């Protein structure tokens, strides 16, 4: 596994969509999975705003959102960010609190306690969450002790217990304004529904073993928001040469010998349609297209690999005007598979133009000069060449075995077989090309996602 | 592609005069290296083996008739060609032969390679393969011998090596492992105008395959690479440790220097190939003439480590399929 300092932005994005490590902290404040803790700590430090926004990366695993919620709550200090940035953090936190399961959020609150993170934002977040949660009456029954721990950490043990005592007294007919004000100031100010908050607090601190407050209703199924982070795509059950997306299907027909004007026009339209779903990227890309003989394939799969590779290339070309293509093998337009797969030579040519990123689109068979690509890429840091190189595996189906076609085993691999994959690939490539510090494009895309997700979730949790 | 500068100084085997052939960049995958060959002569009168050579009929087990449907082209039957069809017993031939335009030729020394399947091959849906490398020495030795089951014991041994039931049923390998074997063709790339190839198992030459023209080699390629050499590669990868020799790492201080070092390293690799050839260049072959067709001569050549068949037109080499003998094939290079 890579060490945190070796993680590029692209590696981190991959890790967000692949890894799903549990978030567990011991009583000593140490995380069970220290590696993941160190990684998220390091990634937050690179660019806290982008880090926070990346919790809406397409296909992000839930576990990562938990780690990210913790980092943001634990480390964001109001005085270090502009008002606009602070507002953004609040929106991110609010969304994460709604979409993550209750017990995972409580785990974060407990971790904040064990890390001794107690600031105004933490207090407000914890108390707002607990007292405004729509299912709190049921959840309080299940997690009573943990919730009390969280409230006492956020409000302070004495304050919380005083509040509970005052609730009981006020409930018994006391009309003490001082106590009422105290309660409002320290606790009820975070709750939309004061009466419910008082009932919950009263229930949490009651001494009887049998709960005096029963849930109003059992929760039959908790709302699940995972679909908000997954692309809305349909995948064919049986993969054929022509159901891997419209662009590749059209290219297959063209390669088979049907380069009619109708097909060529349709191809341009399909490419434009696909490209329109991604914001234009201003950076500079170099793309190496492997059009060597092996990309032709055979039998029913003939021309499938080269077609999907060319499809991705054509969409990239529309989205990124400053893009230079280097072709390994191939002949004609679109390049017809031909010749050996020398990927190292075009890589060296591509690097000379000093792009922001080099993208290699290949079937992974480095038949000629095997090992050269790996060695050239491994050499780059020695010459202080920091341009990221990413290998994009063009496959026939999602289940292709890549064990014998992996010329850059130590480097980030992006796999694709269907046009459905393009959107997330472009996101990852353009994010990598910008890096952690030239983030205009990334920030725009992620803010769009944040806006869209915000529209899809209930509004009970708002810190803004 | 300019291949003239790639011609190694040493030719592989003295009886195979490769003067006039150019060599492409070697391609490697796993244990296997393939060195592409290009001929400056084009023997266009020879028809390719898929489109120009048809299975006509099977007349009882072990008797296979082939047909050359062309108007004028001569067919050289690829050595150890086999035909596969559903619902019929697959057969392979033990030898090569000439078939003139319009001629049908019955091979009464063909062998059945599918013990547990009945039915006769018909002239439909023809799909051919070349016998797996480990079977070829004995298959060639059985040329001229009638008896459809004569290769079953060798096939059983091969099946056993792969851990399959030991019966004369080659389908267990070439059908059961079809996915691995057909994908094997992606690991080596047939180059434009390629007319032949030398195959190496690590440092050891294990096969010389030469076709009369690029179209012939192109049609031969899949059956040869996937099922002849691919089966051997599959065995090596599954049963023996395959480690590629480490290459020199780069020490350049700039991209320009790196380019130079990369080219130097590639030349080194060619030198390594040349050394591999030197290692096998002292083979003495016995040549046995099998057949004549006008000025063409078909020979079986037998050496200590290699055996195979070649076709010559005068002094010029037209076709060759020469391969490592069984004992040498699995013997480590010393």
Task: Tell me how close the Cα of A370 comes to any Cα of chain B, in angstroms.
Answer: 6
Closest Cα in chain A to B191: A339
Residue numbers in A near B187 (CB within 8 A) = 294, 365, 367, 404-405
- Compute the distance between CA of residue B302 and CA of residue B319 in angstroms, rounded to an integer: 16
Question: Does B24 sit within 8 Å of A379, measured CB to CB?
Answer: no
DSSP code for B315:
T
Interface of B with A in 29-68 (CB under 8 A): 29-30
If one counts every other C-beta atom within 10 angstroms of the C-beta of residue A154, the result is 24
Question: Does A405 sit within 8 Å of B185, measured CB to CB?
Answer: no
Task: Tell me how close the Cα of B25 comes to any Cα of chain A, in angstroms.
Answer: 7
**Those residues with Cβ within 8 angstroms of residue A197's Cβ, 6 or more apart along the chain or in another chain:** A131, A187, A188, A190, A191
Amino acid B5: pLDDT: 35
More confident residue, B252 or A2: B252
Reply yes or no on whether the pLDDT at A138 is more than 90: no
Amino acid B9: pLDDT: 46
Pairing of strands B54-58, B81-83: unpaired
pLDDT single digits (tens) A251-287: 999 999 878 899 999 999 999 999 999 999 999 999 9
Residue numbers in B near A394 (CB within 8 A) = none
Domain borders along chain A are 4-226, 246-417
Which of A369, A384, A394 to mutate to test binding with chain B, by most B CBs within 10 Å of its CB? A369
If one counts every other C-beta atom within 10 angstroms of the C-beta of residue B308, the result is 27
Which stretches of chain B drop beneath a pLDDT of 70?
A: 1-16, 85-88, 116-126, 241-246, 279, 281, 332-334
Amino acid A211: pLDDT: 57
Chain A touched by B333 (CB under 8 Å): no
Chain A touched by B260 (CB under 8 Å): no
CA distance to A138, A432, B96, B110, B184, per residue, from B113 (Å) = 71, 55, 17, 10, 22
Cβ atoms of A38 and A12 closer than 8 Å: no
Amino acid A218: pLDDT: 58
pLDDT single digits (tens) A218-247: 555 678 899 999 887 777 889 999 999 999
Question: Does A371 sit within 8 Å of B266, measured CB to CB?
Answer: no
Of A297, A351, A375, the CB nearest to B250: A375
Residues pairing with B288 in the sheet: B300
Chain A touched by B182 (CB under 8 Å): yes
- Compute the distance between CA of residue A77 and CA of residue B153 in angstroms, rounded to an integer: 79
- Compute the distance between CA of residue A245 and CA of residue A312 in angstroms, rounded to an integer: 11
Amino acid B7: pLDDT: 40
- Compute the distance between CA of residue B260 and CA of residue A112 in angstroms, rounded to an integer: 56
ipTM of this predicted structure: 0.76
Task: Tell me how close the Cα of A373 comes to any Cα of chain B, in angstroms.
Answer: 10
- Yes or no: is domain A246-417 CATH 1.20.1070? no
pLDDT single digits (tens) B217-226: 999 999 999 9
Question: Does B265 sit within 8 Å of A372, measured CB to CB?
Answer: yes
pLDDT single digits (tens) A61-117: 999 999 999 999 999 988 889 999 999 999 999 999 999 999 999 999 999 999 888
Of A352, A370, A378, the CB nearest to B255: A352
Residue numbers in B near A405 (CB within 8 A) = 186-187
CB pairs under 8 A between A and B: 85
CA B181, chain centre distance (Å): 14
The pTM (predicted TM-score) of the whole model is 0.83
């Amino acid at each position: 596994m890579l060490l945190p300092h070796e993680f590029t932005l692209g590696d981190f994005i991959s890790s967000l969509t692949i890894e799903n490590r549990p978030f567990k902290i011991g009583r000593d404040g140490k995380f069970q999975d220290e590696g993941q803790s160190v990684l998220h700590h390091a990634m937050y430090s690179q660019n806290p705003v982008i880090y926070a926004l990346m919790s809406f990366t397409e296909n992000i695993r839930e576990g990562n959102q938990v780690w990210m919620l913790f980092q943001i709550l634990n480390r964001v200090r109001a005085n270090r960010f502009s008002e606009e940035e602070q507002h953004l953090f609040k929106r991110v936190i609010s969304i994460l609190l709604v979409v993550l399961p209750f017990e995972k959020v409580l785990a974060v609150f407990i971790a904040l306690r064990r890390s001794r993170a107690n600031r105004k934002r933490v207090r407000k977040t914890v108390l707002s969450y607990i007292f405004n949660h729509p299912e709190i009456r049921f959840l309080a029954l299940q997690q009573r002790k943990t919730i009390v721990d969280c409230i006492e950490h956020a409000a302070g043990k004495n304050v919380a217990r005083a509040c509970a005592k005052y609730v009981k007294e006020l409930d018994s007919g006391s009309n003490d304004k001082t106590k009422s004000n105290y309660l409002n100031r320290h606790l009820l100010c975070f709750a939309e529904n004061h009466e419910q908050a008082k009932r919950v607090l009263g229930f949490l601190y009651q001494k009887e073993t049998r709960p005096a407050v029963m849930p109003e209703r059992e929760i039959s199924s908790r709302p699940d928001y995972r679909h908000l982070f997954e692309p809305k795509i349909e995948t064919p059950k049986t993969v054929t040469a022509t159901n891997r997306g419209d662009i590749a299907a059209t290219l297959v027909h063209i390669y088979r010998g049907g380069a009619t004007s109708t097909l060529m026009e349709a191809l341009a339209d399909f490419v434009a349609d696909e490209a329109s779903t991604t914001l234009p990227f201003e950076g500079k890309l170099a793309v190496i297209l492997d059009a060597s003989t092996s990309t032709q394939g055979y039998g029913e799969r003939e021309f499938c690999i080269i077609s999907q590779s060319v499809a991705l290339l054509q969409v990239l070309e529309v989205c990124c005007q400053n893009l230079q293509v280097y072709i390994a093998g191939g002949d004609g337009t679109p390049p017809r598979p031909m010749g050996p797969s020398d990927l190292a030579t075009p890589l060296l040519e591509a690097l000379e133009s000093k792009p922001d990123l080099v993208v290699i689109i290949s079937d992974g068979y480095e038949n000629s000069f095997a090992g050269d690509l790996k060695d050239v890429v491994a050499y780059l840091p020695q010459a202080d060449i920091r341009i990221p190189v990413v290998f994009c595996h063009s496959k026939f189906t999602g289940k292709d075995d890549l064990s014998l076609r992996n010329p850059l085993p130590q480097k980030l691999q992006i796999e694709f077989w269907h046009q459905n994959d393009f959107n997330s690939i472009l996101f990852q490539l353009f994010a990598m090309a910008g890096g952690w510090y030239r983030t205009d494009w990334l920030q725009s895309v992620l803010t769009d996602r944040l806006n869209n997700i915000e529209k899809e979730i209930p509004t009970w949790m708002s810190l803004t | 592609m300019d291949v003239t500068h790639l011609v190694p100084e040493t030719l592989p085997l003295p009886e195979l005069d490769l003067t006039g052939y150019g060599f492409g960049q070697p391609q490697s995958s796993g244990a296997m290296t393939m060195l592409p060959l290009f001929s400056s002569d084009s023997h266009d009168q020879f028809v390719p083996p898929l489109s120009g050579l048809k299975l006509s009929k099977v007349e009882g087990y072990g008797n296979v008739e082939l047909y050359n449907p062309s108007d004028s082209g001569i067919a050289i039957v690829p050595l150890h060609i086999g035909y596969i069809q559903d619902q019929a017993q697959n057969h392979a031939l033990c030898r090569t032969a000439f078939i003139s335009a319009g001629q049908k030729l019955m091979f009464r020394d063909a062998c059945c390679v599918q013990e547990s399947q009945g039915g006769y091959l018909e002239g439909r849906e023809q799909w051919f393969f070349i016998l797996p490398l480990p079977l070829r020495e004995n298959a060639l030795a059985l040329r001229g011998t009638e008896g459809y089951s004569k290769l079953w014991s060798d096939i059983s041994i091969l099946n056993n090596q792969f851990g399959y039931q030991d019966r004369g049923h080659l389908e267990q390998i070439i059908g059961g492992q079809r996915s691995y074997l057909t994908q094997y063709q992606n690991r080596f790339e047939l180059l434009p105008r390629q007319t032949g190839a030398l195959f190496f198992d690590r440092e050891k030459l294990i096969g010389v395959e030469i076709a009369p023209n690029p179209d012939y080699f192109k049609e031969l390629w899949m059956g040869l690479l996937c099922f002849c050499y691919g089966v051997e590669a599959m065995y090596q990868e599954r049963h023996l440790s395959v480690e590629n020799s480490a290459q020199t790492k780069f020490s350049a201080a700039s991209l320009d220097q790196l380019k130079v070092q990369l080219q130097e390293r590639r030349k080194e690799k060619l030198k390594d190939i040349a050394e591999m050839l030197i290692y096998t260049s002292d083979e003495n072959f016995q040549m046995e003439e099998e057949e004549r067709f006008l000025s063409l001569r078909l020979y079986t050549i037998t050496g200590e480590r290699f055996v195979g068949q070649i076709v010559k037109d005068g002094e010029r080499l037209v076709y060759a399929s020469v391969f490592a003998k069984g004992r040498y094939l699995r013997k480590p290079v010393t």
